[in-house]
Amino acid sequence: MTRAVLIAGPTASGKSGVGLELAARFGGTVINADSMQVYRELRVLTARPSQSEEACAPHRLYGTVSAAQACSVGRWLDDVAQALAEARGEGRLPILVGGTGLYFKALTEGLAPVPDIPAEMRSYWREQAAKSSREALHKELATRDPAMASRLRPADPQRIVRALEVIDATGISLAEWQGGNAAPLLAPSDVLRLVIAPEREPLYAAIDARFDRMIEQGAIEEVRALLDLELDPGLPAMRAHGVHELAAYLSGVLTREEAVAKVKTESRRYAKRQMTWLRRFMSDWQWFPDASTAIVAATAMLATR
């Protein structure tokens, strides 16, 4: 019996639509597995489901965290455990949708040892250590990973650099990785695992078109409201795609056209990184070239569950 459906894919691949369609057909609850869609102040810029979409099926873990906080994978695992239990208690099929590969990996494998850090990232932080003071490095770590910064002193640059490269490469604090192997919430054998992976050109076109819609829907106003909160720039929500570029437009550093072009370029680069992760860590999932194909296949598989 299928205990849950997991739907992964790069940004703008159509995975949210697949999740909503399957939820409508099979009495499902859609659960967020995207590290940015948890922030309540960023509905437009993170492409969270609209209010009308949320009315079509129960949705959980969308917009539940303040942008003033940092949502870690550990916190998400705690929250998703409760969401899974609630869905099952209501007799609903949990359908997890998102583009954060590390969330899915932690969900089905537990928090494993720290993965390999790309060589270029290790080199970058070693260069920063060579030209920055110990105090500056520790301040950077305090901004990006307060948990590890509280454990380390400025006089320990080697461990500070290690913590910085881990948070940069994985988005997860070294403190959490060192927490050990928590048992996975879902076994791969009990779930239907789907990857929506469009070809590059249609995916890039979808990314561009979606950001144009975001602008029409108020993305600039959303960033203005976020900036008015005067939050620490190192917080995850402040690093969401589009925040930096639209902030530069609002401050007069970029024109609107320049800001939009930069966001689209960065979003395409992000999608490319997501695809690299998917190929490396989700090669054994079932892959589909588009949302409609995934819906047809998943419907057939779930009909016999």
pLDDT at res. 165: 87
CATH of domain 119-177: 1.10.20.140
305 alpha-carbon distance from chain centroid:
29
Give the burial string for 117-151 (b: 16+ CB within 10 Å, else e): eeeeebeebeeebeeeeeeebbebbbebbebbbeb
At residue 67, the 3 state secondary structure works out as: coil
Q: Could you read off the pLDDT of 180-236 as tens digits, one per residue?
A: 556 789 988 889 999 999 999 999 999 999 999 999 999 999 999 999 999 988 788
CATH of domain 4-112+181-302: 3.40.50.300
pLDDT at res. 174: 83
Q: Maximum Cα–Cα distance for the chain, whole Å?
A: 61
pLDDT at res. 245: 97
Distance CA 70, CA 13 (A): 26
Return the closest-CA partner of residue 70 out of 208, 204, 235. 235
Residue 66 token pair: 């303040």
pLDDT at res. 147: 85
Q: Residues in the chain with pLDDT < 50?
A: none
Is residue 167 within 8 Å of 174, Cβ to Cβ?
Answer: yes
Distance CA 13, CA 156 (A): 43
Question: Same CATH topology for 4-112+181-302 and 119-177?
Answer: no
pLDDT at res. 182: 64
Domain ranges of the chain: 4-112+181-302, 119-177
pTM of the model as a whole: 0.81
Task: Work out the mean pLDDT of the chain and round it to a whole number.
Answer: 92
Q: Could you read off the pLDDT of 45-78 as tens digits, one per residue?
A: 999 999 999 999 999 999 999 999 988 787 899 8
**Any long-range contacts for 247-255 (C-beta under 8 Å, 24+ apart)?**
247/223, 249/220, 250/220, 250/223, 250/224
